[in-house]
Amino acid sequence: MSLLLVIIVTLLVDAIGTAFVYAFERNVKGGEMHPLFDALFFTTVQLLTVSSQIKNPLTVAGRVVDVFLEIWAVVVVAGSAGADSELLPDRRF
């Protein structure tokens, strides 16, 4: 049940992060997040990989959102995956 909760909350964080990144970065000259899909792609990739070849946000607010997404990915997603691995059967060879 806890893994399902983490997935649901992470999807919510993805949606909110997308909205913030789009709001902060869409009109920035030299930026790469013009359509909403670019912000969604950036936010999702940051949650899944923590690092990517996508250009970083240019505004301070966009960078704050980026750091939050990276912290979320490491602490919440990886931490809960490790905690849920305790539920797997112990197979010793």
Domains of the chain as residue ranges with CATH = 2-85 (1.10.287.70)
> Which pLDDT band, with edges at 50, 70 and 90, does 87 fall under?
low
> Which pLDDT band, with edges at 50, 70 and 90, does 85 fall under?
low
Of the candidates 85, 84, 39, which has an alpha carbon nearest to the alpha carbon of residue 65? Answer: 39
pLDDT tens, position by position, 39-55? 999 899 888 876 667 78
Cα separations (Å) of 49 from 23, 28, 40, 90, 92? 22, 24, 14, 28, 30
**pLDDT mean across residues, the chain:** 83
Cα separations (Å) of 54 from 17, 43, 58, 68, 82? 16, 10, 12, 17, 28
